[in-house]
Amino acid sequence: MARYIFITGGVVSSLGKGLASAALGALLQARGYTVRLRKLDPYLNVDPGTMSPFEHGEVFVTDDGAETDLDLGHYERFTGVSARTTDSISSGRIYSNVLEKERRGDYLGKTIQVIPHVTNEIKDFLRIGDAEVDFMLCEIGGTVGDIEGLPFFEAIRQFIHERPRGQSILMHLTLLPYLAASGELKTKPTQHSVKELQSIGLAPDVLVCRSEHPIPEKEREKIALFCNVRKEAVIPAYDLRTIYEAPLAYHRAGLDQAVLDAFGITPAPKPNLARWEDVMDRITHPEGEVRVAIVGKYTQLEDAYKSIAEALTHGGMANRTKVRAEWIDAEIFEREDPAPWLENFHAILVPGGFGERGTEGKIKAAQFAREKKIPYLGICLGMQMAVIEAARNLVGLANAGSEEFDHEAGAKRFTPVVYHLKEWVQGNHVVARKVTDDKGGTMRLGAYTAHLKDGSRVASVYGEAVIEERHRHRYEVDIQYRDQLEKCGLIFSGMSPDGRLPEIVEVKNHPWFIGVQFHPELKSKPFAPHPLFADFVRAAVEVSRLV
C-alpha cells in the first residue's frame, strides 16, 4: 500500500506546487523509494487540450495519449517516471464520469450529489495504482478556499480517514509576504491559509513557505506554534537560480527529512544526490554559449513552450554549453525581412502551434535557415512549415499550404501539401477522424513508432533504426509530394511503420536541418537530454565557433 502525500497551496496561486512536488519526488527517489506523481485540477474543462496556451501554458502529452497540465512535465523531468492518463484528473472529467454513470443507470435511481458520488469518484481515482509504488504524491491545483476545489478537499479528508493511520500526510505551500515599509516578513496570511484548511477538516503536517527574504528562526517558531506543526516541518523555500536546483535546495532545507519524519520512517535511508549535483555542475559551469531563436506565435507567455525551453537547457547541459533562447513573434516576419532578426543566432527552432496566424513568418524563418545553412529544428507545425517552404521555393508549387488554413478561412486557397489526417493505425486498429469532429481529444495523440532511413542524419542522432515519440496533431504532410521534394533535397528520413505518414524530414547538404512531426521535447530530462536537442545544440556550438 502506497503512502500518500497531498500537496496543497494557499495565500496565492503560482507558488510552485508542481516544482515542489517534483523535487520531493526526486528526493524520495534519491533515498531509494519508488514514486508516482498526480495532478488534480479543479477547473471544469475535461482536460487542458482545448485551452489556449495564453490561458494555461503548454499541453503536456503522455505516452498513452492524455492531454495534461504542464506540471506533469515537471514530474517527468525530475523523476524520469513516465506520466499516464491516470495521473491527471479535472473536475470536468470527474463530473463527466459521474454523469455517464447516472445516464447508464449505475446509481440505481439514487439522487446524485457531490457527497458521496463526486467525492467517491475522486477517491476511486486516487486509489489507482495504489500497490505499485512506495509514495503517491498528489498535487491539488488552485488555492485553499477556491469554491471549485472543495469537492477535492472533502474527498481527501475522507480518503485520509479511511486509510490506516500514518499512511497519508498533507504538505501545504504558502507565501510569506515582505513589507518593505516595516522591514518585516508577515506570517498572518499563512496562519489564515492553514486555518482555512483546518475549517474543512484538514491539517498540514509539513509547511513549505515561499519567501524572497531569509525567514528568521523566531518566525519559523511562530508559524509552527500558530499552525500546529513541528518547527522542523516549517520549510523555507527561496527563489532559485534554476528550477534544477530545487531538489538540492529542498534537501538542504530539510523537506525530505520532514516528510519521512511525518510518516514515522526512522532511520531513513541516506540520499544519493550525485545525479542532481552533476546536473547543477553542468548548468553552473558551462564552457560556452549559443543563441537560439524560437520563432513562434505564443511568445508572450513562455509557459506555452515550457518543455521546449527545458529541452534546450538539457541539450546545453549535454554539451556543457549555456543556451540563450530568445523568443521572436513569427508575425514580425510577415511584415519585415527576417535577416536582421535572425542573422546573429546560431540556430533556429520553430515550435508547434495551431491556426494560420504567424505561419507565413514561420515559413520565412525556415527558408532563412535552409538558405543560410543555419541549424534548424522544426517541431510539429514547424516541420509542416519547412515542407511548405520547400514545396514553394524548391519544387515550384507557389500556392503550397495546409488544409488547416483553408478549413479555418472557409475557402480553398492553397495546394494542400499538408492535409487533414482522416485515419491512422493505432496498435491493432484504425482510427478514423472527420474535420467536423469535436476539438477535444480527437488528434493523433500519444506515443507512436517511426522507422528511420539508413544513413540519414536522424538515424545517426538517435543511434537506432526504430524510435517511439509522442504526437499531438490532426494535420499531416501528404506523402504524394515525397518524390518531388526528395528530388529537390528534402529527404523523408522517418516514416510510420505502414509507410504512409511522414514523421521526419531533413535537408541534404545542410549542416543540420531537421523537421519532426512529433514532440521530442516531451521526453527530454536534465539527466537524460533528448538526442535531437543534444545534437541540435552541438550543431549550434559548431556554428558559434565559425562566427
For residue 172, give the nearest of 125, 229, 225 by alpha carbon: 229
Element (H, E) at 252: helix 246-253
Task: Supply the pLDDT for residue 180.
Answer: 87
Catalytic, 209? Answer no
From the centroid of its chain, how far is CA 81? 13
What is the C-alpha separation between 57 and 48, in angstroms, rounded? Answer: 9
What is the C-alpha separation between 492 and 502, in angstroms, rounded? Answer: 7
* CA angle centred on 58, ends 65 and 6, rounded to 5°: 75
Contacts of 58 (CB under 8 A, 6+ apart): 70, 73, 303, 304, 305, 306, 307
Query: Which conformational region is residue 171 in: left (phi greater than 0), alpha (psi within -120 to 50 degrees), or beta?
Result: beta
Catalytic, 506? Answer no
| 404 in a known ligand binding site | yes
| 384 in a known ligand binding site | yes
pLDDT digits (tens, 9 = 90+) for 76-107: 999 999 999 999 999 999 999 999 999 999 99
Task: Supply the pLDDT for residue 297.
Answer: 83
| 198 in a known ligand binding site | no
269 half-sphere exposure, CB direction, 13 A CA radius: 11
Catalytic, 380? Answer yes
Residues of the chain under the 70 pLDDT cut: 299-300, 547
Q: Which own/partner contact pairs does 490-493 have at CB distance under 8 Å and 24+ positions apart?
A: 490/386, 490/387, 490/390, 490/394, 491/453, 491/456, 492/453, 493/452, 493/453, 493/456, 493/457, 493/458, 493/459
* Beta strand segments in 141-214, E: 168-175, 178-179, 184-185, 206-211
Task: Supply the pLDDT for residue 57.
Answer: 80
Look up the pTM and report it. Answer: 0.93
What is the C-alpha separation between 127 and 149, in angstroms, rounded? Answer: 19
Q: Could you tell me where the DSSP H helices lie in 2-79?
A: 17-30, 53-56, 71-79
380, 403, 469, 476: which one is catalytic?
380
Task: Supply the pLDDT for residue 547.
Answer: 63
pLDDT digits (tens, 9 = 90+) for 16-46: 899 999 999 999 999 999 999 999 999 998 8
| 270 in a known ligand binding site | no
Residue position matching grid coordinates 506570517 = 187
| 382 in a known ligand binding site | yes
| 269 in a known ligand binding site | no
| 57 in a known ligand binding site | no
* CA angle centred on 103, ends 102 and 109, rounded to 5°: 50
117, 314, 519, 530: which one is catalytic?
519
Work out the mean pLDDT of the chain and round it to a whole number.
Answer: 93
pLDDT digits (tens, 9 = 90+) for 141-166: 999 989 999 999 999 999 999 999 99
| 72 in a known ligand binding site | no
What is the C-alpha separation between 258 and 263, in angstroms, rounded? Answer: 9
| 207 in a known ligand binding site | no
| 199 in a known ligand binding site | no
For residue 385, give the nearest of 283, 516, 212 by alpha carbon: 516
Element (H, E) at 88: strand 88-90
The DSSP secondary-structure symbol of 528 reads B
Task: Supply the pLDDT for residue 430.
Answer: 82
Residues in the chain, how many?
Answer: 547
Burial bucket for residue 547 (CB in 10 Å: 0-12, 13-18, 19+): exposed
| 185 in a known ligand binding site | no
User: DSSP string spanning 281-307?
Assistant: HHHHS-S-EEEEEEEES-TT-GGGGHH
Contacts of 486 (CB under 8 A, 6+ apart): 492
74, 138, 521, 530: which one is catalytic?
521
| 520 in a known ligand binding site | no
374 close to 344: Cβ distance less than 8 angstroms? no
**312 — phi, psi (to 5°)?**
-65, -40
